[in-house]
Amino acid sequence: MENPATSSNKKGLLAGFILLIALSAGFIALISILPFGGGGSEKIASIGKDKIGVVEVFGAIMTAEETVKQIKEYANDKSIKAIIIRIDSPGGAVAPSQEIHDAIIAARQKKKVVASMATLGASGGYYIAVAADKIICNPGTLTGSIGVIMNLMNVQELMGKIGVQPMVVKSGEFKDTGSAFRPMTDREKKVVQDMIDDVYGQFVAAVAKGRNMPEAKVRELADGRVYTGNQAKNNGMVDALGGMEEAVKLTAQLAGISGEPALVRHEEKMLWLKELMSEKMAGKFDWLLNEVAVHKPGVYYLWSMN
């Protein structure tokens, strides 16, 4: 026969275990509905209000998948009345910039999209912006830098000094074009320049269409230079001057929203954990990510002072 004291201990342990599970489930449920961190108040305040989805494009643009996913989600969400693309970027790789640009174009078939630039909306950042219905930036925002860049280097003399002699076996004349171990031939330079010109033409065409501007006018502006927000406004590259608050007002007006809208950001629920584990640290290394972008092989819609 079981000892009453032992039976009592087992029941106590079982009750404690059940209580622990209940508390854990309650905690999980709590953090799933309370958006701790930067976006929390926006989530709670969204009850009964028209919503605007905010998609952030920060830093060098090297991938597009997550940004495109967010844009599509907001475009298909009937509770979201409009979208703001918040940009603080020097640009980046050509293909991801084009993918985000095209996702914005597609989203505009369903709702209004406004591009809002923070400190920087240059090159690929501007390429993305021109897909929106309207562009707004601060007077001191740096934007423009319409152009294409490919960074190459030649270390042939250095290799010679340390006694290294590169040897290449290739299948065609242009297979190692851009090699760091020898100068480019004139024929190679033409091949690369033709490629750059083609990608540049794609940028010019996107700006001309997005800004309803003649290509000749775009080419006058598209010599690679950056412009302040004031300058961009004066030459027709942006529609209005202002920060995020003004962007929200403009977006609400375009979408026919009366009163103050609620801003919805992606994955707000776990923003506090995301910041703790990644975002706060990642921001300190943006300069490093930009340097990697500059020196990774490829053609870029990227503003760089290097």
d(CA 129, CA 137): 10
User: Of these residues, 69, 170, 175, 190, which one is catalytic?
Assistant: 175
Catalytic one among 123, 134, 145, 304? 123
Beta strands in the chain (DSSP E): 51-58, 80-89, 91-93, 112-122, 134-137, 142-144, 226-228, 240-241, 262-265, 300-302
123 annotated active-site: yes
- Tokens 């032992």 identify what position? 6
**Tokens (6 digits) for 10:** 């087992």
Sequence-distant (≥ 6) Cβ neighbours of residue 215 within 8 angstroms: 204, 205, 208
Classify residue 146 as left (phi > 0), alpha (psi -120 to 50) or beta: beta
Sign for the pseudo-dihedral over CA of 98, 102, 107, 109: positive
Q: Which two tokens stand for residue 263?
A: 């801003």
Bridge partners (DSSP) listed for residue 269: none
User: Is residue 111 a contact partner of residue 83, using CB atoms and an 8 Å limit?
Assistant: yes
Q: Directed axis angle between helix 65-76 and helix 94-107, to 10°?
A: 0
Q: Does the annotation mark 97 as catalytic?
A: no
Residues 6+ apart with CB under 8 A from 48: none
Catalytic residues: 123, 175
